[in-house]
Amino acid sequence: TSSHFETSGIVSAFWQSIIDASSSGQISVRGVAPAEYDSLYRRGATKRQRVKLTYGSDGLPTTFADPPYNQQKYPVTDAQKKDALDPLGAATSVLAGMRANGSNPCGTIAPVFDGRRRYNIEFTYLRDETVKLDNGLYSGKAHLCQLHYNQIAGFKPKILKEGRELPPAFGWFAEIPSARAPHGHYILPLKLWASTGFGTVTATLTQMKIEDSPAKG
């Protein structure tokens, strides 16, 4: 899995950054087993931070950071790390519906350790809605779910306190059939939104391509 994130528009006036990341590992009906995560964060012309996670046979990640930072100032225990995935591995887990079930079709939780912080993205299913994206990319049934960002470890105490006061976020998630998906379909976020002091922040899916082949076996 690879990703590219870059701020633009009015957001760049406050926070101009670029994040390139990649993740490798294995996925099966049992879950996602990460092998390596590599990310490069750039802010402005001078600030750069590379973080690399390498997973051992015990499932625990070893963190490499350049420039290095103090990993003991706000520590994350091995037990907390062992239960988590890297950010892209966690996203893959959600897309593949690894923690989804009949009563929680969006999934239940995406546990994340990014090399410094340990947090959960938690999902609460609300209802099904009929959705038609303005860009024409999707029309049909989608699951409306609430997302909660639960900070666990690796944060300053002040950040932990502020995190508990974050506004709720919501999303439409659609089940897209695929013979290659571990459970026969992917769960794609069509649209995510949250209310902030600057107004409502929205992210909408603009491109979708499912490369598929007939199921074998």
Question: What tokens appear for 99 in the block?
Answer: 């923690």
The answer, yes or no, to whether residue 104 has pLDDT greater than 50, is: yes
Q: What is the mean pLDDT of the chain?
A: 88
**What are the Cα distances from residue 78, in Å, to 75, 169, 187?**
10, 29, 30
- What does the radius of gyration of the chain's CA atoms come to, in whole angstroms? 18
pLDDT in tens, 54-90: 999 999 999 999 999 999 999 999 999 998 999 999 9
The answer, yes or no, to whether residue 40 has pLDDT greater than 60, is: yes
pLDDT category, 216, cuts 50, 70, 90? very low
Determine the pLDDT at residue 213.
47
> Exposed (0-12), middle (13-18) or buried (19+): which is 45, by Cβ within 10 Å?
exposed
Determine the pLDDT at residue 126.
97
pLDDT in tens, 140-151: 999 999 999 899
Residues 6+ apart with CB under 8 A from 138: 131, 132, 174, 190, 205, 208
CA 104 to chain centre: 17
What is the pLDDT averaged over residues 119-128?
Answer: 96
What is the pLDDT averaged over residues 15-34?
Answer: 89
pTM of the model: 0.86
- Cβ of 163: how many Cβ atoms within 10 Å? 14
Beta strands in the chain (DSSP E): 2-6, 17-28, 31-43, 47-55, 61-66, 109-113, 118-132, 139-153, 169-177, 185-196, 199-204
The answer, yes or no, to whether residue 156 has pLDDT greater than 90, is: no
Determine the pLDDT at residue 214.
44
pLDDT in tens, 161-177: 666 677 889 999 999 99
| Whole-number Å distance between alpha carbons of 151 and 66 | 24
Q: Is the dihedral of CA 153, 154, 158, 160 positive or negative?
A: negative
pLDDT category, 152, cuts 50, 70, 90? very high
Determine the pLDDT at residue 131.
96
CA 2 to chain centre: 12
Percentage of residues of the chain with pLDDT beyond 90:
64
| Whole-number Å distance between alpha carbons of 95 and 189 | 8
